[in-house]
């Protein structure tokens, strides 16, 4: 077990270290800033911290010395909308989804055989990839351009977002992402093509005929079991679900006390 945790908060980033008998805060960074996410890369020890400065935009910082010093690096940027392209109004919102970075919501290192690769999930639903430890980013167009992506719905914010990115420890080209609200999406070719993987999930707040549509599922958290990578768990808006076939299909875990609602799940 690690002796250090990095805790991201709306008031800064805190280093929490284990002492002989307890845990204590040893350092505060970005004090007063909204740190939405911090990622530790076990391959090289790098840290990435995403900050939301509101009116001043989304920023990304990197440390290569265990949080002693930080340097700002490029945040993902959406490319210009293609000339002549007219986005469709969303069926629930009545207006097109945004085409610019609103929030960094997920950061995950690539596989051990992919030095420098980092995946980044964002609002309004774009998945980005870096091959140089975050120095530059490229939008994954096969997922962004997928016709089903425009059907993804808002969550607690105004936009859909990719928050969980699971890289298969057996095959780094097999990546699964959790979308709120858009279910689970899977690639087995490193992002060249994508397909939905939410069969069996149930969205009880939708009309009955839409409740089992994989593309409307509000996935709050998606995790993959490192010891048995065919097994995934999802904390959903209205339930807990488990997959034993690589996130292709799901079984609902019922009669959970005190509630099936939540945001976190861990294995």
Residue 32 Ramachandran class (φ > 0 left, ψ -120 to 50 alpha, else beta): left
102-111, 192-201, 248-257: least confidently modelled range: 248-257
Give the mean model confidence (pLDDT) for residues 173-198: 96
**pLDDT reported for residue 87:** 79
Predicted local confidence at residue 169, as pLDDT: 97
**Residue-wise pLDDT tens digits, 47-102:** 999 999 988 999 999 999 999 999 999 999 999 988 888 877 777 777 777 889 99
Spatial distance between the Cα atoms of 265 and 235, rounded to a whole number of angstroms: 6
pLDDT of residue 65: 95
Min mean pLDDT across 14-18, 81-85, 132-136, 226-230 is at 81-85
Task: Please check the confidence at residue 19 and state whether its pLDDT lies above 90.
Answer: no
Q: At 64, give phi and psi (nearest 5°).
A: -115, 10
Mean pLDDT over 23-28 rounds to: 93
Q: SS3 helix, strand, coil % of the chain, rounded to 5?
A: 5, 40, 55
């Amino acid at each position: 077990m690690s002796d250090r945790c990095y805790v991201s908060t709306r008031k800064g980033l805190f280093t929490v270290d284990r002492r002989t008998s307890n845990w204590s805060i040893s350092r505060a960074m970005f004090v007063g800033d909204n740190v939405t996410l911090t990622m530790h890369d076990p391959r090289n020890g790098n840290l990435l911290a995403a900050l939301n400065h509101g009116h001043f935009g989304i920023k990304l910082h990197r440390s290569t010395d265990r949080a002693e010093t930080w340097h700002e690096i490029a945040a993902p940027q959406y490319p210009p909308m293609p000339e002549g392209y007219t986005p469709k109004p969303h069926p629930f919102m009545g207006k097109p989804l945004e085409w610019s970075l609103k929030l960094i919501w997920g950061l995950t290192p690539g596989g051990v055989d992919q030095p420098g690769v980092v995946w980044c999930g964002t609002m309004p639903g774009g998945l980005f990839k870096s091959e140089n430890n975050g120095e530059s980013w490229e939008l994954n167009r096969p997922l962004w351009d997928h016709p089903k992506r425009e059907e993804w719905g808002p969550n607690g914010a105004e936009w859909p977002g990719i928050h969980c990115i699971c890289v298969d420890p057996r095959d780094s080209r097999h990546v699964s992402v959790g979308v709120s609200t858009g279910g689970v999406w899977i690639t087995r070719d490193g992002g060249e093509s994508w397909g939905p993987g939410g069969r069996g999930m149930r969205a009880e707040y939708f009309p009955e005929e839409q409740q089992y549509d994989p593309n409307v599922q509000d996935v709050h958290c998606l995790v993959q079991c490192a010891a048995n990578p065919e097994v995934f768990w999802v904390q959903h808006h209205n339930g807990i679900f488990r997959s034993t076939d690589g996130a292709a299909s799901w079984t609902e875990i019922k009669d959970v006390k005190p509630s099936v609602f939540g945001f976190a799940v861990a294995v």
